[in-house]
Amino acid sequence: MLRVRPITTRDNDLLKTIAIESGTGFTSLPDDEALLEHKIEQSISYLSRPAEGPSPVTYLFVLEETDTGEVLGTCGITSAVGLDAPWYHYHIGTIVHASHQLGIYNEFRTLYLCNDYTGSSELCSLYLRPAYRGSGGGGLLSRARFLFMAEHRQRFADRIIAEMRGFTDQHDSNPFWEGLGQHFFSMHYQQADFLTGSGNKVVIAELMPKHPIYIHLLPPEAQAIIGRVHPNTEPACRLLQTQGFRFENYVDIFDAGPTLAARPDEVDAIRRSRRVEAVVDPTPAPEDARSYLVSNTGSSDFRCIQARLQPTLTRVRVTPELANALEINSGDPVRLVSLPGATTA
């Protein structure tokens, strides 16, 4: 059975492997052993503390196969970005140049360096290892975060963002960086990518131009990928859009990947999820049972699975196998939400 749980120190080596596998552009998990160890330790520490308000910490989770203990992927939620260092984006805006006397009117798209998403919670670090893609694990890994956020709202901000990985070409290069960023630095895309993932995005921003950038002056290749996602990120982008996330004309200053945003109550799985009482019963679910995402209500011991269930308004029957995966007993509360295709919450 596939299950999402918080990361632990025993996942250290696996996270290093994922950091290498994910490649250029996956900046939230850089190939930096010391930084990855710090991220794991910080996640474990903050999840074990009483709930507080939003803070600059990233909660990390993994997807595991309960029968073997094998870890198939990872995901994360940053409680609040930009509280420990400035958080930069480019906002796509419009400047009008017009002359009534000459009868000329032109609108130009521009990029403005800004900190508009400061304090937002961020979905990050979603990665499913290639051998396990197409199995449904990616959807569980991504959506499980919404049940955690619904259950622990006080840990998160009133706006959620997700930076989508930007496009890279067959040479593992980014045309936006080549057309803009590299003119202000003496380094290749991969080196700048590593600096960004290692927490030096502020250094990148400090060297970027502070004035509006006219998009039409950039090379056509750079213009074409503004707001375009990496092919490997397209499924995650589509899932977030079905959940209520939208593009608000903000892109990454580094690779021009789009940032999606939503308020918590606009996120479908958060809005529709509800608490019910679990009743452990060996009776299998009936044939007309629907697919649900279900989790316990813990933080450091959070567990989330997908199962066919038939809940009432106040209770849900779960088999001993499901109860063991969720690490719950009869009478414990669980949080659940129906998956696409189901007609009830």
Contact 335/150 with Cβ under 8 angstroms? yes
Mean pLDDT over 113-123 rounds to 96
Q: Does 36 or 220 have the greater pLDDT score?
A: 220
Residue 324 to residues 1, 151, 292, 305, 315: CA-CA distances in angstroms?
11, 20, 17, 11, 18
Q: Above 80 in pLDDT, residue 260?
A: yes
Nearest to 29 by CA among 162, 148, 127, 125: 125
Mean pLDDT of all residues in the chain? 90
Of the candidates 342, 339, 289, 343, which has an alpha carbon nearest to the alpha carbon of residue 316? 289
> Residue 292 in contact with residue 337, Cβ under 8 Å?
yes
Q: What is the pTM of this model?
A: 0.90
* Whole-number pLDDT of residue 31: 63
> For residue range 30-54, what is the model confidence (pLDDT) as tens digits?
667 788 888 899 999 999 998 889 9
Is 230 considered catalytic here? yes
Which residue is associated with the tokens 């960023």? 181
Question: For residues 94-115, b (16+ Cβ closer than 10 Å) or e, as one string?
Answer: eeeeeeeeeeeeeeeebbbbee
Kindly tell me the sign of the dihedral angle through the C-alpha atoms of 63, 69, 71, 72. negative
Could you write out the DSSP letters of every residue in 40-61? HHHHHHHHTSPP-S--S-EEEE
Beta bridge partners of 124: 76
Higher-confidence residue of 1 and 200: namely 1
171, 183, 211, 230: the catalytic one is 230
Angle of CA points 207, 182, 256, to nearest 5°: 85
pLDDT tens per residue across span 177-209:
999 988 887 777 777 766 766 666 667 667 878
| Residue (of 80, 79, 84) closest to 152 by Cα position | 79
- The CB density around residue 200, as the number of other CB atoms within 10 Å, is 15
C-alpha triplet 82, 128, 76: angle, nearest 5°: 25
Amino acid (1-letter code) at residue 297: T
The sign of the CA dihedral 205, 19, 244, 314 is negative
